Structure 1
Amino acid sequence: MSFKSTLLAAFATTILAVPALAQEIQVLDTYARSASPTAKTGAAFMLIENIGDADDRLIGAVSPAAQRVELHTHIEESGVMKMVHVEEGFAITAGETLVLERGGAHVMLMGLTESFEQGKIIPITLVFEKSGEIVVDVPVDLARKPEEGHGKAHGTKH
């Protein structure tokens, strides 16, 4: 291989590697739950850290455990808390953490194809605007209390 070919190959490898290094997402403290073993819906909660230097956005999710998966949050309307689908997803600012928790932003699984039993692992693919797809194994934890884990923060927190 000539020096020119070697240099060109090294340059191409460097250019192709830069996008993969530009955005880094870590998913921590995952768990899922449903209201009962026969429930048709469930939800997943987690911390999503953007440790990169560019903003990103969680824009969707899919799972073989449900017919439909959506990003949801709760809003207050006339004094009543209401769960709503967030079509635009959730922004994750560089250096910040998106908190998905009960009573706030979460991944909603509808039309469950299997029951959520304690300790079962639910695969969920999170889809990000810049970082692409990240598959996470989410354990079902029916015993976890709302005050355990993520605290009381909603949305993006540092």
Structure 2
Amino acid sequence: MNNLSRILALATLSAVVIAAPVRADEVKAGDLVISQAWSRATPSGAKVAGGYLTIENKGTAPDKLLSVSAEIAGKADLHEMTTENGVMKMRPLDKGLVIEPGKTVKFAPGGYHLMLQELKAPLKQGDKVPVTLEFERAGKIAVSLDVQGVGAQAPGGGGSMMMKKMPDHSGMKM
């Protein structure tokens, strides 16, 4: 291969690498790594949406997620959904949620989630919804929720309507 061919090959490879989509879905703050932040699109008129993400504590001390806020919502809370005797129950986590050292906590449909209430506008697929998480040690951390389709079960639109559908808060009124 002559020098011109090498330069063209390198230029082509560089262009492919540069053009590849970069996912900025990981936020690091202190010992915490927050990733896979997403939500579902909401129908017009919906006043509630759920937010989901993963929090990993890579440190040696616990940290506590105290609260969440979002400009698009009049009210935002941390919630947990559980099943007791076959009945799904949702409750706010008023005292926050401890993220133990070396542990990962996943916020997902049917479990821990961010509850965005009194929405000021619908969430549309493709949007990025800024939220602020407040931790006891790491402080305030800005994260963007990637809005997926209405029936999404995971970030990136994973899952399908054929799968068991978990509770969707987008149509709830509180």
What's the TM-score once normalised by structure 2's chain length?
Answer: 0.68
Whole-angstrom CA distance in 1 between matches of 2:35 and 2:44: 25
Aligned counterpart, 1:99:
106
Is the counterpart of residue 120 in structure 1 residue 127 in structure 2?
A: yes
Whole-angstrom CA distance in 1 between matches of 2:91 and 2:144: 25
What's the TM-score once normalised by structure 1's chain length?
Answer: 0.74
Whole-angstrom CA distance in 1 between matches of 2:90 and 2:56: 24
| Identical aligned residues as a percent | 33
Aligned counterpart, 1:140:
147
Aligned counterpart, 2:86:
79
| 2:48 partner letter | T
What do residues 97-120 of structure 1 show as CA deviations (whole Å, max 9, x unaligned)?
A: 110000000000000011100011
Whole-angstrom CA distance in 2 between matches of 1:137 and 1:148: 12
Is the counterpart of residue 37 in structure 1 residue 51 in structure 2?
A: no
**How far is 1:76 from its partner?**
2.7
| 2:103 partner letter | E
Contact kept, 8 Å, 2:42 with 2:124, in 1: the verdict is: no
Is the counterpart of residue 56 in structure 1 residue 69 in structure 2?
A: no
Q: Give the unaligned 5+ runs of structure 1.
A: 1-21, 150-158
Count of residues in correspondence between the two structures: 129
Aligned counterpart, 2:136:
129
